[in-house]
Amino acid sequence: MKYEIKCIGILTSGGDAPGMNAAIRSVTRAAIFNGIRVKAIYRGYKGLISNEIVEFQTQNVSNIIQQGGTILKTARSTEFRTAEGRRTAYENMRANEIDALIVIGGDGTFTGARIFAQEFNVPIIGLPGTIDNDLYGTDSTIGYDTALNTIIDAVDKIRDTASSHERLFFIEVMGRDAGFLALNSALASGAEAAIIPERETKVDQLEELVRNGFRKSKNSSIVIVAESELTGGATGLAERMRSEHPEYDVRVTILGHIQRGGSPTAYDRILASRMGVAAIDALLDEQRSIMIGIVNDKIVHVPFTKAIKDDKPVDESLVGVLQILSI
């Protein structure tokens, strides 16, 4: 069954990420440019079920490119995980004359989109909006660069205190299953080490850190920790450090949701803008059930199944670079 795309729906789902508004703006204006109507769906899949749908014109997305968060709001939807909930969502789509969806979010968003597309033959294109940068098939996700810069700014400030008091700081960053934020922020901020979930199954990273004499030439240290249960998080590692190595004056900082907020960087604004236009191009090219990604600065199409199921590896060589530069 071939669809003629006359009207699209756009939603944001899952955790918010800086640059989502730039993506909403880009999708809206690219659609209108191509003669396609746009319906904004508030509060993600939950709003699709509760029919929180409003038509957007180009002026609806004026002056939002610089705003963090998402003007469309976001919410979790347990109802969308049920067949009945998805049926209601589809009926609302048809009642609002929506022919296709653009969804902005992470793996949970794309998992729901893949199932919905299969059940009701709906063309759906995904844009990767998550600060964790953990989606397979794209070098960067919308929001990752901004979050990285937010972390670096915070670590720079904490280092002033760490140096003044000769302390060891464990700083926890987001990245439940992925260490991209921890590893790259450690490199960019001059931290002594990064403890990431990808390496925890191979080596005791805390013991490795101490064994390598990470403070032999310094009176203070910064260790960036991914929030993962595998790493134990900053609090767990600090407790272990105090128990096993009481000679260290240990402190913990958990950056939390500060990493998700703020005005997006130039890179995230440009990335979101390019991906938004590419999403409309993909629909016009009769693509479906794909994520728009970027590889070597070129737009690529990644099937939902690969983006969701395949693990995105960290560059192990960066761990070596960090160890060399932290002496």
DSSP 20-58: HHHHHHHHHHHHHHTT-EEEEETTHHHHHHHT-EEEE-G
Of 124, 131, 151, give the one whose Cα is nearest residue 271: 131
Helices 20-33, 266-284: axis angle to 10 degrees equals 40
Three-state DSSP state, 106: coil
Domain boundaries, the chain: 7-143+264-309, 145-260
- Fold for domain 7-143+264-309? Rossmann fold (3.40.50)
Alpha carbons 289 and 129: distance in angstroms, whole number: 16
* Greatest distance between any 2 Cα atoms in the chain: 69
| Per-residue model confidence (pLDDT) at position 3 | 59
Distance CA 278, CA 181 (A): 26
Beta bridge partners of 302: 291
Q: What is the pTM assigned to this prediction?
A: 0.93
Point out which residues pair with 12 in neighbouring strands: 104
Q: What is the CA radius of gyration of the chain?
A: 22
Intrachain domains 7-143+264-309 and 145-260 with the same fold: yes
Which tokens is 228 given? Answer: 């993962």
Find all residues with CB under 8 Å of 90, minimum gap 6, and list them: 116, 119, 120, 122
Structural contact between residues 111 and 305, judged by C-beta atoms closer than 8 angstroms = no
- Homologous superfamily (CATH) of 145-260 is Phosphofructokinase domain (3.40.50.460)
Each residue's pLDDT tens digit in the chain (327 positions)?
A: 455 899 999 999 999 999 999 999 999 999 999 999 999 999 999 999 999 999 999 999 999 999 999 999 999 899 999 999 999 999 999 999 999 999 999 999 999 999 999 999 999 999 999 999 999 999 999 999 999 999 999 999 998 887 777 778 999 999 878 899 999 999 999 998 899 988 875 667 777 777 776 655 555 689 999 998 887 899 999 998 888 888 888 999 999 999 999 999 999 999 999 999 999 999 999 999 999 999 999 999 999 999 998 889 888 899 889 888 877
**Catalytic annotation, residues:** 132
**Helix-strand-coil split of the chain, %, nearest 5:** 45, 20, 35
Q: What is the pLDDT of residue 1?
A: 43
